[in-house]
Amino acid sequence: MSNFWRSAAIRGAMFFALWVILTLGDRNDFAVGIFAAIIATWISLFLLPPAPTHPSLLPLLKFMLHFFRQSVIAGLDVAKRAFDPKLPLNPGYVQFSCPISAGPARSAFCALSSLLPGTMPVKSDATGNVLVHCLDTLQPVVEQLSKDASLFRAAAGAVRNDG
């Protein structure tokens, strides 16, 4: 089965499952649900064609565990800084050279990075530079983002296409 048809089957099944959830499994709506899933699948394949790579389960699990751990650590750090006025805040911007290709993969990485307390990707350019706002520029933000990006690439199969 080609990557296109595999993606179509998975997306179609997901859209139909969403329909079943939304209609609470009412069998009278199955025909409409199948039609809606086919249309939604066709539109999604047109708007976001299947990628040549797909997520890997073990690296995805590693990334999820790492992300959860980082969320807790960063959340505790932000809370500590908010409630202890003696702790320094050095807000500002850092430049991060993102190894993930521009497009959906980099957008997904930046969206996930914005969920980590204390960092917010603000702008990305075609060369791979991402401007990140952080609460403390003295912290190893770029090194942490590099590690996150490496784990994300392994999980998502995202590679840079710059030659």
| Same domain flag for 72 and 42 | no
Instruction: Identify the pLDDT of residue 158.
Output: 53
Residue 137 located in a structural domain: yes
* pLDDT above 80: residue 157: no
Burial class (CB in 10 A: 0-12, 13-18, 19+), 137: middle
**Contact predicate 126/102, CB 8 Å:** yes
**Global pTM value:** 0.68
Tokens of 125: 């350019």
- Eight-class DSSP state of 29: G
Residue 162 located in a structural domain: no
| Same domain flag for 142 and 66 | yes
* pLDDT above 50: residue 137: yes
Range of the domain at 26: 3-47
pLDDT digits (tens, 9 = 90+) for 67-79: 999 999 999 988 8
| Same domain flag for 83 and 27 | no
| Same domain flag for 102 and 122 | yes
* Summary mean pLDDT of the chain: 88
Instruction: Identify the pLDDT of residue 126.
Output: 84
Residue 52 located in a structural domain: no
| Same domain flag for 141 and 81 | yes
Tokens of 29: 């709506």
Residue 163 located in a structural domain: no
Residue 134 located in a structural domain: yes
Residue 123 located in a structural domain: yes
| Same domain flag for 43 and 76 | no
Confidence of residue 163 (pLDDT cuts 50, 70, 90): very low
Per cent of the chain over pLDDT 90 is 57
What distance in Å separates the CA atoms of residue 51 and residue 105, rounded to the nearest whole number?
10
| Same domain flag for 12 and 61 | no
Confidence of residue 1 (pLDDT cuts 50, 70, 90): low
Calculate mean pLDDT across residues 1-21.
Answer: 90
Pairing of strands 129-134, 119-124: antiparallel
**Contact predicate 160/100, CB 8 Å:** yes
Identify the top-confidence range among 82-86, 87-91, 111-115. 111-115
| Same domain flag for 43 and 75 | no
Strands (E), the chain: 92-97, 119-124, 129-134
| Same domain flag for 84 and 124 | yes
Calculate mean pLDDT across residues 106-132.
Answer: 91
What distance in Å separates the CA atoms of residue 90 and residue 105, rounded to the nearest whole number?
30
Calculate mean pLDDT across residues 103-126.
Answer: 90
**Contact predicate 119/74, CB 8 Å:** yes
**Contact predicate 112/152, CB 8 Å:** yes
| Same domain flag for 67 and 105 | yes
- Count the domains in the chain: 2
